[in-house]
Amino acid sequence: MADCPCGSGRDYADCCGPLHAGTAPDDAEALMRSRYVAYVLRLEPYLLATWHPDTRPRSLDLDAEPATKWLGLEVKRHALTGQDTAIVEFVARYKIAGRARRLHEISRFMRQAGRWVYLDGKGDSS
């Protein structure tokens, strides 16, 4: 894989690849980008491991039909909201059964035991 699907313009091996292999992300935006790529690549164990245990589902069923085809990510903003909390606003474009959609979400992240985790998000899908 050359370009990282997260849209950073960097090579996957120098961007989200190391995070998927266990390197801790520097900030919530890096975690959010790596989670988007994990959806693209269907890396359910990574998604669950980077989800806060209080809000984490048992499974994600990423192989359900019709399959989701992820088309692109645009990060709108990333802001620290406290010493160990942050938000990331993004728009992710995707297709299901040939129908184009978009997810606009403001996600909340927190640092737990020195590592960023996804807490939850509010958004709309159209």
Q: Does residue 38 lie within any of the structural domains?
A: yes
Residue 1 lies in a domain: no
Predicted pLDDT at 50: 98
The CATH number of the domain holding residue 92 is: 3.10.450.50
pTM: 0.95
Q: Please choose, from the candidates 46, 34, 28, 39, the residue with its C-alpha nearest in 3D space to the C-alpha of residue 6.
A: 34
Q: Residue 2 domain-assigned?
A: no
- At 92 the three-state DSSP class reads strand
66 Cβ contact list (under 8 Å, min separation 6): 96, 97
Tell me, yes or no, whether 42 lies in a domain.
yes
Tokens 């989701």 sit on residue: 68
What is residue 51's predicted lDDT score, i.e. its pLDDT?
A: 98
Is 91 inside a domain boundary? yes
Q: Token pair for residue 65?
A: 């039909």
Contact present, 81 and 109 (Cβ < 8 Å): no
Task: Answer yes or no: is 4 within a domain.
Answer: no
Task: Render pLDDT for 45-100 as a digit per residue (tens, 0 to 9).
Answer: 999 999 999 999 999 989 888 889 999 999 999 999 999 999 999 999 999 999 99
Task: Give me the domain span that covers residue 85.
Answer: 12-125
Paired strand residues for 107: 88, 121
- Of 19, 21, 38, whose CA–CA distance to 30 is shortest? 19
Query: Which pLDDT score, from 0 to 100, does residue 124 have?
Result: 87
- The pLDDT value recorded for residue 126 is 78
- Is residue 15's pLDDT more than 90? yes
> Is residue 5 one of the residues assigned to a domain?
no
- For residue 66, the model assigns a pLDDT of 85
- Count of the separate structural domains present in the chain: 1
Residue 7 counted as domain residue: no
